Chain A
Amino acid sequence: MALAEDFADSGRAPVSACPACVVVPAAERIAALRADRAGRIVLSLPNAGGAQSISTVEAAVQAVPGVISARVNLTLKRVSVEAEPSVTAAQLIELLASHGQEAHELDPGLLSVTETDRQGRELLMRLGVAFFSMMNVMLLSVAVWSGAEDATRDLFHWISGAIALPTVIFAGQPFFKSAWASLRQGRLGMDVPISLALILASSISVYETAMSGHHAYFDAAVMLAFFLLLGRYLDHRTRAVARSAAEELAALEVPRAVLLVDGAELEMPIAEVQPGDLVLVRPGARMPVDGVVIHGASELDRSLLTGESLPVPAGEGTVVSAGEVNLTGPLTVQVTAAGKESSLHRMADLVAVAEGAKTRYTSLADRASRLYSPLVHILSFSAFGYWMWATGGDVRYAINISAAVLIITCPCALGLAVPAVITSASGRLFRKGLLIKHGTALERLAEVDTVVFDKTGTLTLGAPEPVALADQPRDAVAVAAALAAGSSHPLARALADGARALGLAPADVTGIREIPGQGIEGAYRGARVRLGRADWCGAEPVAATATYLALGGETRAFSFTDRLRPGAEAAVKALKAAGLQVELLSGDAEAPVRDLADRLGIPRWQAGVLPAEKAARVAALAAEGRKVLMVGDGLNDTAALAAAHVSISPASALDAARVASDIVLLGQDIAPISDAVRISRQATRRMIENFLISGGYNVIAVPLALIGHATPLAAALAMSLSSITVSLNAMRLK
């Protein structure tokens, strides 16, 4: 590690030798940028839990000079720190690490929870009011049901009305608004009959009370409002949880670039990098911008962009794109496009277009309401018409009946049926490490019959593992391990780890130095030894990912294979057992792809696939009438992810890929994918059951209402019983 830092140091020096490259009035810009950095730092604490961690973290952070306040939020597992500009996130992360707390910086700008927060609080407020009135009106109604008469009944009705009317006006607003919006577009949504029922029930009750009638539906109106708001709130909460978790994933990658201004290094947000600026990219860091290398030599890992697992060399003049990972040496890059202009962002924009196609999917709830709401209106109006005719023009009686029909048929349980199942299913999947980002993703996942996997980074970890290291001569491995220990190149690290696992001590190699973009060199028993690229070591390249050792006039190749993601075997096996067709599409070379397909037992695979070909293959499968689940992580998968019926990406995926996918796999283990398919099928079944249950209640209650025998008591019973039954059924998910 010390070596790598040395190179980082030496990498800085030549830049000031190129003053012409730096055209920006430096001092002003530095001052302006430093001033912006004051304020709030938000860190994510994934392992925080228990009272002890609150005390430890808050005490430790508050002890730092310059920190004004620190507060841990254990529910979100975050700490937010108000501090002076001198305090940096890196400093706090290091401090917390020394106290045994893992911490990651979050971009506070991306955590825009306020808007959803406000909506959620508003809904909860309305729910609270509806609950309060429902309980009070219910108490009064019990007295009426059990036989209060004349003046007492009227008094109770008046009091109920005084409580219920303001409640309906306040709590019903979300329904009134969306009903009005859908009416203006000339459609009959689910909210139109709801609003109609609320308004009609309240006004007929006021009229009945004024005429000192027997039946008032104040209790039904507030109960309706309460149960429907409950469904709305559950729905909102599921979405808010998914959104905030997705935001956190995005915020984890704080987009910062190290800018070189007049030879000075300055860390700043990517949004402020301009074309023409010089950016330093250290080994192990991801390219923040598109640009051209003007200084340094290194290797680049392009697997997230193209799927190839083999690193490519980079030197002066190499064109780099945002998202590539710099492996060995520090690179100075002149920016050609940054932020919204970069290739990464343009790809994300393409995805946004594809996203629109997915919203065209009609969910079960939509289909149910499309069937349901005309039926409700027709029933209610025909009841009105029939009783007008049968009673010879008794408007009061006819309106009463049609209000009763509306209240009973109102989709109270229907409004709960889907949100309750989705809340329960996504909670269960979240515990298994799957984040459902899209509302209809579960339903779409249940329909899937084909699974298409990407290779690098999805089925494999994108981390190399040495092949048959034990078969190599022990002294050669020992020398290679000694050389490899001095580098942070992934192949070198894997080699050093592999030697350690074999119990081999590194040989006594002196004078180790890393040549960026080439390899590592040292002296062993007086002779020069090299570990690195084939041409540099004078070796014949082999047809696999490999590094080469030049030792005493001889060369030796160490080849590597990509490490399998944990649970990959189990996931493929379970998916095949569930009757799904599994395919593998990779941008990598043929040999490693065939190898992996054989290892996992995937019969259909294709290597060297271009991004557009991936999307085309998914589209071709869709044209055959297949519902495709795409699992992928790279930029080369994004188009396919967006084109698939439903898509999953691991949390390690590129931001653009995560945005394009409907479900994000939070853990490293990929096995939960098969659980997700199973749970989603179960959830869809529960939803249909719930529709049938609430339909069943209607089949019994509607005829009663139509012939004029529905009392407010019957309406209240049908409504609460069906709501409770569907909620319980939703919780049966396993």
Chain B
Amino acid sequence: MEILAILIPVSLLLGGIGLAAFFWAMRTKQFDDPEGDANRILTRDWDDRPKP
């Protein structure tokens, strides 16, 4: 049962990372234009260098 002392914190930590990532994505407005983002990945405009 000692293994629980490791597993429970690890599972909480991993879940917490997921939650934090969700918060970050929401705060940076990444859900504002899901359709546009899905299409933007296909454009070739900034393939050679990043958008200034």
Contacts and interface: CB of A to CB of B under 8 A. Distances in A.
Given A129-B19, A132-B15, A50 B39 contact: yes
A203 B4 CA distance: 26
Interface stretch (A15-23, A69-77, A360-368): A69-77
B6 interface: no
Given A75-B36, A128-B23, A59 B11 contact: no
B43 A136 contact: no
Contact of B11 (A51, A73, A136): A136
Contact of B43 (A51, A140, A155): A51
B12 interface: yes
A54 B40 contact: yes
A55 interface: yes
B38 to A, nearest CB: 8
Interface string A54-75: 1100110000000000001111
A73 B19 contact: no
A73 B35 CA distance: 8
A375 interface: no
Interface in A118-155: 121, 124-125, 128-129, 132, 135-136, 139-140, 152, 155
B8 A125 contact: no
A75 B22 contact: no
Contacts of A159: 8
Given A55-B43, A136-B11, A159-B8, A73 B23 contact: no
Contact residue range for chain A?
A: 20 to 34
Contact of B1 (A55, A76, A132, A152): A152
A304 B11 CA distance: 64
B39 A136 contact: no
Contacts of A135: 15
A546 to B, nearest CB: 50
A73 B12 contact: no
Nearest to A124: B26
Interface in A77-129: 121, 124-125, 128-129
A132 B13 CA distance: 11
A129 B18 CA distance: 10
Contacts of B45: 55, 58-59
Majority DSSP secondary structure for residues of A touching B? helix
Nearest to B34: A75
Contacts of A74: 33, 35-36, 39
B40 A51 contact: yes
Nearest to B19: A132
Interface string B16-32: 10110011001000011
A121 B26 contact: yes
Nearest to A128: B22
B26 A51 contact: no
A159 B9 CA distance: 10
A726 B22 CA distance: 27
B36 to A, nearest CB: 3
Contacts of B19: 128-129, 132
Interface string B34-52: 1110011111110000000
Given A136-B15, A159-B8, A72 B23 contact: no
A82 to B, nearest CB: 15
A125 B32 CA distance: 14
Contacts of B32: 73, 75
A355 B45 CA distance: 49
Contact of A54 (B23, B31, B34, B36): B36
Contacts of B1: 152
Nearest to A77: B35
Contacts of A76: 33
A121 B28 CA distance: 11
A42 to B, nearest CB: 14
Contacts of A55: 43-45
A75 B35 contact: yes
Nearest to B36: A74
A531 to B, nearest CB: 50
A125 B19 CA distance: 9
Contact of A136 (B12, B31, B34, B41): B12
User: Which A-B residue pairs are the 8 nearest by beta carbons?
Assistant: A74-B36, A51-B42, A51-B39, A75-B35, A74-B35, A73-B33, A132-B19, A75-B33
Given A54-B39, A54-B40, A129-B19, 17 more contacts: A51-B39, A51-B43, A52-B43, A58-B45, A59-B45, A72-B36, A74-B39, A75-B32, A75-B34, A75-B36, A121-B26, A124-B26, A125-B26, A128-B22, A155-B4, A159-B8, A163-B12
18 contacts: A51-B41, A51-B43, A54-B36, A54-B39, A54-B40, A54-B43, A55-B44, A55-B45, A72-B36, A74-B33, A75-B33, A75-B36, A124-B31, A128-B22, A132-B15, A139-B11, A140-B8, A159-B8
